[in-house]
Homo-oligomer: A and B are copies of this chain.
Amino acid sequence: MTLVSDCNEGELIAKFAHLLPRGQRTLLGIGDDCAQINAPEGSFIVTTDLIVEDEHFHRAWSDPEQIGARVAAQNLADIAAMGGRCSALVVGVVLRADTEVEWMLSVVRGIGDRARAAGAGVVGGDMSKGPLTVLTITAMGYCAGAPIRRDGAQAGDVLAFSGRAGLSNAGLDLLCGGHVDPLLRDTSACGILGEALDAYRAPSPPLESGPAAAAAGAHAMMDLSDGIAQDARRMARASGVVIELDRSALLAEAAPLTELGAICGKNPFEWVLCGGEDHGMLATFAPDARLPEGFRPIGRVRAVAQGEEATLLLDGVTVTGGWDHFRMS
C-alpha cells in the first residue's frame, strides 16, 4: 500500500497522466506553465466548482471513481447549461498525506472518464497535501451560438426540465438515514433505489440536453443544482418574470420516488421541489417550440402584473424556498 506521502508530485503526475484524455481541442497539453486550447468561435465559457470531504462527499459512502465523477459532472453540467460543450478541464487537488495512491488514482480515473465521455481534455492541475481532501475543477467550453443565459425567460414561454428531479436527494437520504448499507456499490439490480444512490454518488447530468435546447431556440437555461424551487425562482428573478409551476407535472416527477419516500419517511414532492444536486437542465421555450428529447413541461412563464414581483408561484402561492415553505400534497 503506497501512500501519496511516499511520492513526490512528479511521480504522482506520471502515474495518473495516462488516465486523462488529452482532448480534441487541446493544442498544448499537460507539462508546461499553461495548456493551450483551441477556440475557433473566438470566445469560450468557463465555470468552477469544488467539493470538500465530509461536506460534499464521504469516503465511506462513495467509491473514489464516483467522487471524481461527481465533481466532473457538476462542472460539465454548468457548461451544458449554457448550451455548450466542454473543451478542457483543469483540476486542483488537496490530499491528506495518508491517502493511498490507488485511491487517488481512482479519483483521477473518475474525472478522466467523465471528461473523455464529454469529449473534453484534462489539461492541467495542481496538487498539495492538506488535512482533508478538496477537489476543485474548472471547466472551459464553447457554444455553437450565443450562450443561453438564465435571464432570458419570456412571457408565454414553457418551463421545461430534462433530467431526474429529486433523485440525488433521495439517495442522500437513503444513506443519511441508514436505510441502505453504505458499502452497497453494485446497484445494478436495485431498481430505483440503485438509481438514487448512483445519482447522489456520481450524478449523470443530461449533458446533451444543453446543446439540444440551444439548437431548439431555448430562451433561458440553467443547471438545476439547488432544486426546482430555488433555481426556477432565480430564473424568474433574473428574467423579471413570473414562473408558475404545474403541480400535476411535478407530481408526475415525484411519482417514481414514492417507494423511496416510504423507506425514508420523506415526501417525494419535497425532494422534487427542494432536492439539490440533480444537475438537470431547466429551460424555457417559446410556446410553439417543439421540446427537445428528454424535456418535459413543468410550468409556464408570464409577465409580472402591476405591483407584483418577479417570482415563482405554485398554485398561486409564492415559492420562497426552503423546506418549511411548501404545502405538501
**Contact of A32 with B138 at beta-carbon distance under 8 Å, contacts A92-B48, A130-B55 already known:** no
Distance of A254 from chain B, by nearest CB (Å):
25
Contact: B46 with A88, CB < 8 Å?
Answer: yes
Contact: A55 with B129, CB < 8 Å?
Answer: yes
A47 touches which one: B35, B132, B150 (CB < 8 A)? B35
* A37 neighbours in B (Cβ, 8 Å): 43-46
For chain A, residues 275 to 302, give those with C-beta under 8 angstroms from any C-beta of chain B.
Answer: none
Which of A36, A49, A78, A128 counts the most B-chain CB atoms under 10 A from its CB? A36
How far is A47 from B222 in the complex, measured between Cα atoms in Å?
26
A94 touches which one: B38, B52, B91 (CB < 8 A)? B52
For chain A, residues 124 to 177, give those with C-beta under 8 angstroms from any C-beta of chain B.
Answer: 124-126, 128-132, 134, 136, 138, 140-141, 143, 147, 149-151
**Contact of A126 with B48 at beta-carbon distance under 8 Å, contacts A147-B36, A150-B32, A150-B33 already known:** yes
User: Is A28's CB within 8 Å of the partner chain B?
Assistant: yes
Interface size of A by CB at 8 A reads: 58
Could you say how many copies of this chain the assembly holds? 2
**Contact of A141 with B34 at beta-carbon distance under 8 Å, contacts A42-B39, A43-B39, A132-B130 already known:** yes
A147 touches which one: B34, B40, B82 (CB < 8 A)? B34
A138 touches which one: B52, B138, B141, B223 (CB < 8 A)? B138
Distance of A194 from chain B, by nearest CB (Å):
28
Which of A34, A78, A92, A134 counts the most B-chain CB atoms under 10 A from its CB? A34
* A46 neighbours in B (Cβ, 8 Å): 34-37, 88, 90, 123-124, 138, 140
Distance of A304 from chain B, by nearest CB (Å):
20
User: Is A21's CB within 8 Å of the partner chain B?
Assistant: no
User: Is A227's CB within 8 Å of the partner chain B?
Assistant: no
- For the complex with contacts A33-B47, A34-B141, 8 further pairs of A-B residues with Cβ separation under 8 Å are A32-B151, A34-B81, A36-B44, A46-B138, A48-B91, A55-B130, A132-B132, A140-B140
Query: Would you list 21 pairs from A and B whose C-beta atoms are within 8 A, ordered by A residue?
Result: A32-B149, A32-B151, A33-B79, A34-B45, A34-B82, A34-B141, A34-B147, A35-B46, A37-B43, A40-B42, A44-B140, A48-B92, A48-B138, A50-B128, A51-B128, A55-B128, A90-B138, A92-B92, A131-B132, A136-B136, A140-B140
